[in-house]
Amino acid sequence: MTATAPASSEIDADAVRAQVEAFCDRNWDPDLTVEQWWHLLAGAGYSHPMLPESAGGLGYGMDQFALVSLVLAERGVLGPPGGLGRMLAAPTIAFHGTPAQVDRYVPEILDGRVGWCQLFSEPNAGSDLASLQCRAERDGDEWVITGQKVWTSGGQVADMGMLLARTDPDQPKHAGISWFAFDMDQPGVEVRPLTEMTGRALFNEVFIDEARVADSALIGGLNNGWRVGNTTLMVERASLGSSGRKPMELIPGPKGGVLDSRVGDFVDRSAGATMSGVPPLGVDMWWWLVDMARKNGSVASRVLRDDLMRLYGLIEINRLSIQRAKGGSSSAAAPNIAKLTMSELNRSFRDIGMRVVGADGMLMGESDGQSGGHIAEVALFSPAPSIYGGTDQVQRNIIGERVLGLPREPGPPRDTPFSQLPKN
């Protein structure tokens, strides 16, 4: 089997569709292992087509990227590796890393050999991330890391982490931070899962006690981590806010436990299937709700039909806004607005879903009730998106201060050294 795809981004939608369909015809075999299939996707540039060719992508725009995902979903094949490596680490390293760093880290992300997590938030540095206190101290060609991180999605199955640490406490708090590619499998790193009310453990605490990271793993330059981290956050907000039909994703890396599994065993999913406890809300889930409302008769309610159409409109507006943002023709607040829209989508799917299924919305088991527990999971998970990735309040502050030009909240001068700022 071969895995080839054109490298030009100057092609129309019909050409992209034809190329992805031809790729699937040539290469899809349900008896392949997950690792083999991901290797083929990565080799064709379809793991992350928006990355530049030098980083294993195709240089596609958002429209073409979304079309690749749509065609893979329509063909019923497994999608590229899930998780934060492909979503956040690969684009960040592709943009800020040296060619050697791109070659070192990105290929093993795109073909699923390595899973990543995000080591940003701390107990006293969530909404005000620049207040982070995890420290990195130079020791020859290495840095010694000590500190605590929290709300680390997928930390228990990650091989690597995107680590923000303070490398110079005598600089202003935004200036003395660096971004590292951090090895999670080493002495001095302890991951403690945090069980949510869904019963899952998507988030974790991570305790780091004199762990080490090579200086060659410092991405974007010393004390430039705030700029690099903002790239990560911008991609995160846009990705969290995006919608549209996507293929099934699985957890990458050896800890995900699927690399040697038969790929065909994972492609039969319902619209309510989840990965790592995050309900995949989008147009597929909307149609699933509509079909359920038709079956149980709740669609007879004019109010419910109005709300279903309002939800569909929100899904479409969000999809089109994301495409416009990725095309560079929208406001600087587009990623923040997308993040706020995602929070609203979760609340809307929760509320409308509960009205469709009624009392069955209290059942969590996959064999329970008409929804198989999916609506209950959406309901229990729904508060999380308004908190993680920057709270809704933080997004509104960013829009107000950086886009609308409203006054900043009072505080110490921005050039105050971090070591002189009041803590906690």
Parse the chain into domains and list their residue ranges.
Answer: 13-80, 116-235, 270-403
All residues at 6 or more sequence positions from 402 whose CB lies less than 8 Å from its CB, including other chains: 332, 333
Residues with catalytic function? 236
What average pLDDT does the segment 325-345 reach? 79
Residues 121, 189: Cα–Cα separation, whole Å: 16
- Residue range 297-306, pLDDT digits in tens: 999 999 999 9
Q: Which CATH number fits domain 270-403: 1.20.140.10, 1.25.40.10, 3.10.20.30, 3.55.10.10?
A: 1.20.140.10
Q: Tell me the Ramachandran region of residue 369: left when phi exceeds 0, alpha when psi lies from -120 to 50, beta otherwise.
A: left
The whole-chain average pLDDT of the chain stands at 88
What's the token pair of residue 408?
């900043």
User: Which of 223-227, 237-241, 283-287, 322-326 is predicted most confidently?
Assistant: 223-227
What average pLDDT does the segment 137-156 reach? 96
CB count in 10 Å sphere of residue 77: 23
pLDDT range class, residue 6, cuts 50, 70, 90: very low
Distances, alpha carbon 277 to alpha carbons 16, 132, 142, 246, in Å: 32, 27, 36, 16
- Residue range 88-138, pLDDT digits in tens: 999 999 999 999 999 999 999 999 999 999 999 999 888 789 999 999 999
pLDDT range class, residue 328, cuts 50, 70, 90: low
pLDDT range class, residue 274, cuts 50, 70, 90: very low
H-assigned helices in 154-275 = 225-241
Residue 238: the pLDDT is: 66
Which residue did the predictor score with more confidence, 346 or 268?
346
What's the token pair of residue 372?
């198989």
What average pLDDT does the segment 150-155 reach? 93
DSSP 106-159: HHHHHTTSS-EEEE--BTTBSTTGGG---EEEEETTEEEEEEEE-S-TTGGG-S
Answer yes or no: are the C-beta atoms of 133 and 423 closer than 8 Å: yes
Residue 273: the pLDDT is: 44
Pairing of strands 116-119, 160-166: parallel
Residues 386, 103: Cα–Cα separation, whole Å: 35
- Residue range 44-102, pLDDT digits in tens: 999 999 999 999 999 998 788 889 999 999 999 999 999 999 999 999 999 999 999 99
Task: Give the residues across from 163 on adjacent strands.
Answer: 119, 180
Candidates 250, 261, 281, 203; CA nearest to 82 is: 250
pTM: 0.82
Answer yes or no: are the C-beta atoms of 418 and 166 closer than 8 Å: yes
Burial level of 296, CB count in 10 A (0-12/13-18/19+)? middle
**Res. 367: pLDDT tops 70:** no
The superfamily in CATH containing domain 116-235 is Butyryl-CoA Dehydrogenase, subunit A, domain 2 (2.40.110.10)
Residues 216, 142: Cα–Cα separation, whole Å: 8
CB count in 10 Å sphere of residue 35: 18
List of long-range contacts for 11-16, beta carbons under 8 Å, 24+ apart: 11/64, 13/63, 13/64, 13/67, 16/60, 16/64, 16/67, 16/68, 16/71
**Res. 2: pLDDT tops 60:** no
**For tokens 């979503």, what's the residue?**
87
What's the token pair of residue 56?
């294993």
